[in-house]
């Protein structure tokens, strides 16, 4: 409260209002200070200072605001509240809890309502992990709170000097109550604030070596992302970006998930909100919502808050990373974020770069993705933030600036393809255009944890798919019967890889998640068919007979079967018998 | 109310006024001409020394001698129950010769965003009676599903057929249609009106007409008036409202016109950079609210310039709406009605509205299987043109035939033919049964045993 009064003297006056960008004069301000605009005290942020004019982006609708209304500076940068209560929350782009907003202003988002990001009344049971006399360095874990099934660790804020614990309490506290005091007299509650545009510090960034397993065959099997890695999913509308993002949010084996709905559809967020509490984390068996933080700034919510939403999300992700967790962050969609930048930039009458985007687009994108990573935290623990950004290129044209600038930074590229989605091949990720630069880094992991021959099997599958693409060009011209016999077998094997392995039904209770073991078994079964088929073809069996092998028709059903093992063994056995019969007949 | 005579510049739809008292952003403005006529406008930019006003009608007759009155409030729409059955202009004035609307409420036309937390999950299947929609691109309550069409295609008939036949099976709740026309011809408007009258739909409809010769700028507010009305009917009166907006392309042209007049930095193809946000503020006004009865379902219609789906208007629309129904020139040329090409069509909310207890347990998988078959069959047509039918394998010939059957039996139906969802799905199975069973890889064995005509007990054999 004192802060507010002290700043009272510095009140400025609004001079011009044009959409989400307003100009104030006589305001003592610094870049990125948070200000309160107009009689209703709408939240805004200083984005340009020009002589006496301070230019502000306002996070709420500015209709009805007049020149001459007051503007006051809070003197703080845009920051998020960090502490127990983050998990299971759903926020707008500037960390206002949407649930609280419903209670305060009803079903529609009105303006001028502020709401803190965390509940300041709720009491949490704090359990200290250090005692008086222990050293406290920045980032050190001093105690913990059982937040959901996740343990929320309370750390000395990273921007604090080290000290020695004088007293530390135990028991039930709100996030504002002082729980520990250092010998030099500094007092701390559980709550800490962090400015969203500043990355939280770490001791060291490391190279990722463990995959972020997602239960999606084409991702884990062919184009894996590492924990602490970055990936982009570009695709035209209707190609399945959002479904893929949601599948990742549901099934990826991260401990914490931050999902940012940035400028996307309201109904999609509702879907996540309705569905997640009923879905179980395959590892812990607890509702998925318990490890999730949602940020929803839908396309019709104020555009400046959309710009901020991505930073709000990544800061929360970094905070959990600092506790030593593996966090995955999904941003759907970074193109809407870039468009928000473009809109603000054009209102500032800045010189536009490519396609009207501001010249600093590339810098902002790379700064954002660089906040991902596998790190050694300040307290020496290991944590990671993996970032998966959806990109919505206009007209599905990957040559546009947002896609291109993103691809220059990220290591994994999952190219969505409208052609595939039109024939309901889901996930509609094109296996020829996609890539993962983590394959080498993850080689050892797959070798040890999945199977010694997995890496080889993967390469084999990619080769078959590549070969098929070449053969398809010929087939398009002359028909499949004109191909040599062995290549007709290749076409069939590739079809099996596509239809059995790559296609995955996100809406089937079993097929929606497929662990690495099952992925391996499925691919092995296809490879077994391939080996038998080539051998049979060499022995003189005709392609028509090979294609007629009945056992392979049972293989797709494996996808939908939970205890697939006995079934799969039966199929493999009858495959063997059938081929034996064919070979001896030939 | 103070009247200013300080107009300094008039450019296209924009009027620049100097030396005013503080004027609010988005305030409603009346410009009084020398003969007493009043033109309405809205503040686009306001500062100490200059206010920019966008006039909703033509600026014909406005001069530096015209008076400018600022009303002190943003644009409000008078709404009431008795709007049902009325025909209003694109600016919201009655044009059917009836009395003025007695407002029960006056609502801001910009409309606030529904808090995502307060949104209800769309889940009620709407049966339109059109197989390509119900079967393969299902519409649900609270969805926004546009029709992407081209000049000269029968999108209006499709929209009318949906408006006429749409129902939630087994539900008797009251529902209404809000129809907003932007820049369509009088002839098209008459066609809509005649059909509304023929089917008695007018009684439960509110019609907004901005015709081709009405001021283009008025089109900016027409959809907002329509949606404000729809939200009132839905969330205050508890009705299920179907909103038809046609033609969004004209709306976007008007948006571009204003952007150009304001000398803004243009985005793709000259459309303003904020067009995504602007369109989102229209389309996102569809939905349901938790714990409330009503719903707003939107069917915007747009004609793709040059049938190009990557043009900014369909492109941005597709990124906001929950799918799209694509009307195809090729099917139309083949004489198939409704010429809906299912391949690029999509309903994102389909999975929420179908399945056991809603439509039928086999719905999703039948739909997927038909898609896969039709897509592959359709591809083979290109090949046949080169190598001839005889060079195809038996499997490919089957798929080719499937594609033909699909178009002629599943897609094609009458303008007044209202198929139930059971009819649609059974028809789907009939078509799928022309393919060998082992080719149906997307359907699990249990469903095949239950629904496939070959296994279905007592089923008719083809």
Contacting residues of A for B292, CB less than 8 Å apart: 107
User: Is the pLDDT at A3 greater than 50, yes or no?
Assistant: no
Q: Do A269 and B120 touch (CB under 8 A)?
A: no
Cβ contact A399:A415 at 8 Å: no
The fraction of chain A above a pLDDT of 90, given in percent, is 75
Q: Which of A172-186, B267-281, B295-309, B315-329 shows the lowest per-residue confidence on average (mean pLDDT)?
A: B267-281
The more confident residue out of B202 and B404 is B404
Contacting residues of B for A93, CB less than 8 Å apart: none
Test mutation, B48, B138, B277, chain A, max A CBs within 10 A: B277
Q: Do A423 and B372 touch (CB under 8 A)?
A: yes
Q: Which of B23, B117, B310 sits opposite A90 (nearest CB)?
A: B117
User: Is the pLDDT at A8 greater than 50, yes or no?
Assistant: no
Mean of pLDDT values over A330-347: 90
Task: Say yes or no: B310 contacts chain A, CB-CB below 8 A.
Answer: yes
The 3-state DSSP composition of chain A as helix, strand, coil percent (nearest 5) reads 40, 25, 35
A140: phi then psi, degrees, rounded to nearest 5: -70, 140
Q: Which of B315, B346, B349 sits opposite A267 (nearest CB)?
A: B349
Q: Which of A17, A109, A303 sits opposite B25 (nearest CB)?
A: A17
User: Is the pLDDT at B461 greater than 60, yes or no?
Assistant: no
Determine the Cα–Cα distance for residues A381 and A22; give it in Å rounded to an integer. Answer: 45
Q: Do A423 and B376 touch (CB under 8 A)?
A: yes
* Local confidence band at A10 (pLDDT 50, 70, 90 cut-offs): low
Cβ contact B43:B29 at 8 Å: yes
* Type and span of the H or E element at A126: strand A124-128
Determine the Cα–Cα distance for residues B312 and B316; give it in Å rounded to an integer. Answer: 6
Q: Write the DSSP assignment of A486-539 as a string of letters.
A: HHHHHHHHHHHIIIIII---TTSTTTT---HHHHHHHHHHHHHHHHHHHHHHHT
Q: Which of A270, A343, A557 sits opposite B274 (nearest CB)?
A: A343
Mean of pLDDT values over B318-329: 94
Q: Which of residues 362-391 of B touch A (CB under 8 A)?
A: 364, 368, 371-372, 375-376, 382-383, 386-387, 391
First to last CA, chain A: 91
Q: Which of A173-182, A319-328, B100-109 shows the lowest per-residue confidence on average (mean pLDDT)?
A: B100-109
Q: Do A477 and B120 touch (CB under 8 A)?
A: no
Contacting residues of B for A24, CB less than 8 Å apart: none
Q: Write the DSSP assignment of B416-440 as a string of letters.
A: T----HHHHHHHHHHHHTTS-GGG-
First to last CA, chain B: 78
Determine the Cα–Cα distance for residues B227 and B307; give it in Å rounded to an integer. Answer: 27
Dihedral of CA A123/A128/A133/A137: which sign?
negative
A159, with CB counted inside 10 A (0-12, 13-18, 19+), is: middle
Contacting residues of B for A474, CB less than 8 Å apart: none
- B275 to chain A: closest CA residue: A343
pLDDT value of residue B180: 94
pLDDT value of residue A6: 43
Contacting residues of B for A560, CB less than 8 Å apart: 444
Cβ contact B295:B285 at 8 Å: no
Burial readout B300-334 (b: 16 or more C-beta within 10 A, e: otherwise):
bbbbbbebebebbbbbbbbbbbbbbbbbbeebbee
User: Is the pLDDT at B365 greater than 60, yes or no?
Assistant: yes
What is the DSSP-derived secondary structure letter of residue B111? -
* Local confidence band at A229 (pLDDT 50, 70, 90 cut-offs): very high
Cβ contact B102:B80 at 8 Å: yes
Tens digit of each residue's pLDDT (9 = 90 or more) over B158-191: 999 998 888 888 887 888 999 999 999 999 899 8
How close A520 comes to chain B (CA, Å)?
20
- B21 to chain A: closest CA residue: A67
Q: Which of A4-8, A148-152, A554-558, B275-279 shows the lowest per-residue confidence on average (mean pLDDT)?
A: A4-8
Determine the Cα–Cα distance for residues A407 and A393; give it in Å rounded to an integer. Answer: 12
Q: Do A107 and B376 touch (CB under 8 A)?
A: no
Contacting residues of B for A499, CB less than 8 Å apart: 441
Contacting residues of A for B444, CB less than 8 Å apart: 557, 560
Q: Which of A65, A355, A480 sits opposite B268 (nearest CB)?
A: A355
Burial readout A506-533 (b: 16 or more C-beta within 10 A, e: otherwise):
beeebbbbbebebbbbbbbbbbebbebb
Q: Do B344 and A422 touch (CB under 8 A)?
A: yes
Cβ contact B342:B136 at 8 Å: yes
- Three-state DSSP class for B247? coil
How close A570 comes to chain B (CA, Å)?
17
User: Is the pLDDT at A132 greater than 50, yes or no?
Assistant: yes
Q: Which of residues 441-460 of B touch A (CB under 8 A)?
A: 441-442, 444-445
Q: Write the DSSP assignment of B438-457 as a string of letters.
A: GG-TTS-HHHHHHH-TTTST
Determine the Cα–Cα distance for residues B326 and B295; give it in Å rounded to an integer. Answer: 24
What is the DSSP-derived secondary structure letter of residue A277? G
Please report how the helices B275-283 and A334-347 are oriented relative to each other, as an axis angle in degrees rounded to 10: 120
Task: Say yes or no: B277 contacts chain A, CB-CB below 8 A.
Answer: yes
Please report how the helices B421-432 and B363-387 are oriented relative to each other, as an axis angle in degrees rounded to 10: 40
User: Is the pLDDT at B201 greater than 50, yes or no?
Assistant: yes
What is the DSSP-derived secondary structure letter of residue A552? G
A341: phi then psi, degrees, rounded to nearest 5: -60, -40
Contacts of residue A367, Cβ cutoff 8 Å, sequence gap at least 6: none
How close A442 comes to chain B (CA, Å)?
32
pLDDT value of residue A9: 47
Of B288, B407, B291, which Cα lies nearest the Cα of B349? B288
Looking up tokens 């360095």 gives A137
* Local confidence band at A7 (pLDDT 50, 70, 90 cut-offs): very low
Q: Which of A301, A352, A550 sits opposite B265 (nearest CB)?
A: A352
Cβ contact A503:A426 at 8 Å: yes
Q: Which of A102, A343, A394 sits opposite B268 (nearest CB)?
A: A394
- Three-state DSSP class for A325? coil
Q: Do A267 and B119 touch (CB under 8 A)?
A: yes
Mean of pLDDT values over B68-74: 90
* Local confidence band at B457 (pLDDT 50, 70, 90 cut-offs): low
Q: Which of A65-74, A360-369, B233-242, B452-461 shows the lowest per-residue confidence on average (mean pLDDT)?
A: B452-461
Cβ contact A126:A173 at 8 Å: yes
User: Is the pLDDT at A349 greater than 90, yes or no?
Assistant: no
Residues pairing with B108 in the sheet:
B76
pLDDT value of residue B459: 47
How close B223 comes to chain A (CA, Å)?
15
User: Is the pLDDT at A50 greater than 60, yes or no?
Assistant: yes
User: Is the pLDDT at B385 greater than 90, yes or no?
Assistant: no
How close B450 comes to chain A (CA, Å)?
16
Tens digit of each residue's pLDDT (9 = 90 or more) over B404-427: 999 999 999 999 999 999 999 999
Determine the Cα–Cα distance for residues A64 and A279; give it in Å rounded to an integer. Answer: 44
User: Is the pLDDT at A19 greater than 90, yes or no?
Assistant: no
Q: Which segments of A403-504 are extended strands (E)? A: 412-413, 435-436
How close B160 comes to chain A (CA, Å)?
25
pLDDT value of residue A163: 95
As for the ipTM of the complex, it is: 0.85
Q: Which of B121, B277, B438 sits opposite A303 (nearest CB)?
A: B277
Q: Which of A142-146, A178-182, B94-98, B143-147 shows the lowest per-residue confidence on average (mean pLDDT)?
A: B94-98
* Local confidence band at B462 (pLDDT 50, 70, 90 cut-offs): very low
Test mutation, A22, A424, A483, A543, chain B, max B CBs within 10 A: A424
Contacting residues of B for A263, CB less than 8 Å apart: 276-277, 280
Contacting residues of B for A424, CB less than 8 Å apart: 368, 371-372, 375, 442
Determine the Cα–Cα distance for residues A374 and A324; give it in Å rounded to an integer. Answer: 10
Tokens representing B273 are 């950079």
Burial readout A199-219 (b: 16 or more C-beta within 10 A, e: otherwise):
bbebeeeeebebbbbbbbbbb
Q: Which segments of B154-204 are extended strands (E)? A: 175-184
Q: Do B25 and A392 touch (CB under 8 A)?
A: no
pLDDT value of residue A162: 95
Determine the Cα–Cα distance for residues A498 and A509; give it in Å rounded to an integer. Answer: 20
Mean of pLDDT values over B194-210: 89
How close B67 comes to chain A (CA, Å)?
21
Contacting residues of A for B324, CB less than 8 Å apart: 237-238
Q: Which of B117, B315, B323 sits opposite A102 (nearest CB)?
A: B117
Cβ contact A47:A32 at 8 Å: yes
- Please state the separation of Cα B321 from the chain's center in Å: 9
Q: Which of A98, A392, A560 sits opposite B116 (nearest CB)?
A: A98
User: Is the pLDDT at B456 greater than 80, yes or no?
Assistant: no
Determine the Cα–Cα distance for residues B411 and B391; give it in Å rounded to an integer. Answer: 28
């Amino acid at each position: 409260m004192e802060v507010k009064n002290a700043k009272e003297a510095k009140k400025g006056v609004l001079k011009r209002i044009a959409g989400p960008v307003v100009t104030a004069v006589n305001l003592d301000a610094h870049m990125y200070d948070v200000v309160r605009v107009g009689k209703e005290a709408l939240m805004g942020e200083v984005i340009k200072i020009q002589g006496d004019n301070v230019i502000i982006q306002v996070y709420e609708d500015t209709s009805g605001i007049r020149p001459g209304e007051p503007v006051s500076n809070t003197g703080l940068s845009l920051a998020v509240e960090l502490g127990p209560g983050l998990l299971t929350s759903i926020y707008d782009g500037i960390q206002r809890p949407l649930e609280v907003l419903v209670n305060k202003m009803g079903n529609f988002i009105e303006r001028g309502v502020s709401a803190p990001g965390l509940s300041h009344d709720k009491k949490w049971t704090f359990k200290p992990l250090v005692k008086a006399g222990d050293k406290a360095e920045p980032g050190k874990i001093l105690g913990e709170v059982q937040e959901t099934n996740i343990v929320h660790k309370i750390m000395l804020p990273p921007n604090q000097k080290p000290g020695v614990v004088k007293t530390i309490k135990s028991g039930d506290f709100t996030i504002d109550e002082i729980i520990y005091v250092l010998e030099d007299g500094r007092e701390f509650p559980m709550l800490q604030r962090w400015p969203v545009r500043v990355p939280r510090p770490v001791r060291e960034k490391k190279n990722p070596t463990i995959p972020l397993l997602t239960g999606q065959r084409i991702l884990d099997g062919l184009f894996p992302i590492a924990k602490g890695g970055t990936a982009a999913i570009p695709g035209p509308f209707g190609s399945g970006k959002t479904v893929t993002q949601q599948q990742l949010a549901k099934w990826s084996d991260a401990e914490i998930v931050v999902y940012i709905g940035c400028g996307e559809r309201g109904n999609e967020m509702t879907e996540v909100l309705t569905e997640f509490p009923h879905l179980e984390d395959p590892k812990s068996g607890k509702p998925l919502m318990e490890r999730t933080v949602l940020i929803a700034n839908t396309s019709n919510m104020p555009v400046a808050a959309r710009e901020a939403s991505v930073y709000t999300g990544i800061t929360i992700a970094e905070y959990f990373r600092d506790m030593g967790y593996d966090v995955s962050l999904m941003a759907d969609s970074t193109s809407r974020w870039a468009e928000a930048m473009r809109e603000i930039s054009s209102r500032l009458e800045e010189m536009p770069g490519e396609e009207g985007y501001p010249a600093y687009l590339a810098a902002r994108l790379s700064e954002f993705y660089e906040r991902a990573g596998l790190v050694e935290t300040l307290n020496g623990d290991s944590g990671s933030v993996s970032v998966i950004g959806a990109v919505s290129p206009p007209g599905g044209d990957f040559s546009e600036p947002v896609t291109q600038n993103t691809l220059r930074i990220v290591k994994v590229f999952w190219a969505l393809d409208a052609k595939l989605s039109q024939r309901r091949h889901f996930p509609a990720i094109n296996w020829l255009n996609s890539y993962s630069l983590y394959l080498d880094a993850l080689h050892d992991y797959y070798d040890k944890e999945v199977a010694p021959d997995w890496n080889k099997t993967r390469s084999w599958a990619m080769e078959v798919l590549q070969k098929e693409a070449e053969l398809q060009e010929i087939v398009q011209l002359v028909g499949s019967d004109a191909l040599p016999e062995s290549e007709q077998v290749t076409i069939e094997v590739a079809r099996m890889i596509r239809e059995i392995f790559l296609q995955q039904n996100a809406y089937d209770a079993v097929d929606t998640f497929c662990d690495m073991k099952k992925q391996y078994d499925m691919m092995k079964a296809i490879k077994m068919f391939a080996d038998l088929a080539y051998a049979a073809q060499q022995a003189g069996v005709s392609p028509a007979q090979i294609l007629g092998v009945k056992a392979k028709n049972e293989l797709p059903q494996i996808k939908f079967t939970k205890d697939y093992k006995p079934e799969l063994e039966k199929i493999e056995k009858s495959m063997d018998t059938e081929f034996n019969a064919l070979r001896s007949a030939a | 109310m103070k009247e200013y005579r300080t107009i300094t510049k008039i450019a296209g739809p924009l009027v620049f006024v100097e030396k005013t008292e503080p004027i609010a952003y988005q305030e409603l403005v009346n410009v009084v001409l020398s003969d007493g006529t009043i033109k309405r406008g809205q503040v686009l930019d306001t500062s100490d020394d200059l206010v920019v006003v966008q006039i909703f009608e033509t600026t014909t007759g406005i001069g530096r001698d015209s008076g400018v009155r600022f009303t002190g409030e943003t644009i409000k729409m008078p709404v009431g129950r008795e709007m049902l059955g009325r025909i209003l202009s694109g600016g919201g004035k009655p044009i059917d010769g009836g009395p003025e609307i007695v407002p029960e409420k006056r609502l801001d036309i910009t409309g606030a965003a529904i808090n995502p937390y307060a949104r209800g999950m769309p889940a009620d299947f709407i049966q339109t009676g059109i197989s390509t929609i119900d079967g393969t691109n299902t519409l649900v309550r609270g969805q926004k599903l546009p029709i992407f069409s081209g000049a000269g295609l029968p999108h209006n008939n499709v929209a009318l057929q949906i408006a006429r036949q749409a129902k939630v099976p087994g539900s008797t709740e009251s529902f209404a249609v809000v129809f907003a026309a932007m820049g369509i011809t009088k002839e098209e408007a008459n066609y809509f009106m005649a059909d509304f009258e023929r089917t008695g739909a007018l009684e439960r409809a509110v019609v907004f007409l901005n015709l081709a010769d009405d001021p283009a700028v008025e089109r900016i507010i027409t959809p907002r008036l329509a949606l404000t009305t729809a939200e009132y009917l839905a969330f205050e009166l508890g009705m299920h409202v179907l909103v038809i907006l046609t033609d969004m392309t004209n709306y976007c042209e008007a948006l571009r016109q204003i952007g150009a007049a304001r000398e803004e930095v243009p985005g793709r193809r000259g459309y303003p950079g904020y067009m995504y946000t602007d369109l989102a503020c229209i389309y996102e006004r569809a939905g349901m609210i938790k714990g409330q009865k009503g719903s707003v379902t939107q069917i915007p219609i747009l004609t793709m310039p040059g049938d190009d789906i990557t043009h900014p208007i369909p492109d941005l629309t597709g990124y906001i709406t929950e799918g799209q129904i694509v009307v195809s020139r090729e099917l139309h040329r083949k004489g198939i009605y409704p010429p809906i090409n299912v391949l690029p069509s999509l309903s994102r909310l389909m999975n929420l509205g179908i399945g056991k207890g809603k439509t039928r347990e086999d719905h999703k998988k039948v739909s997927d299987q038909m898609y896969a078959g039709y897509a592959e069959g359709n591809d083979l047509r290109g090949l046949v043109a080169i190598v001839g039918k005889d060079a195809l394998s038996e499997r490919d010939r089957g798929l080719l035939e499937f594609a033909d059957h699909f178009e002629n039996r599943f897609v094609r139906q009458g303008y007044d033919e209202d198929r139930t969802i059971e009819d649609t799905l059974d028809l789907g199975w009939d078509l799928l049964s022309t393919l060998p069973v082992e080719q149906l890889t997307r359907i699990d064995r249990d469903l095949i045993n239950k629904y496939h005509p070959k296994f279905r007990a007592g089923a008719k054999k083809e």
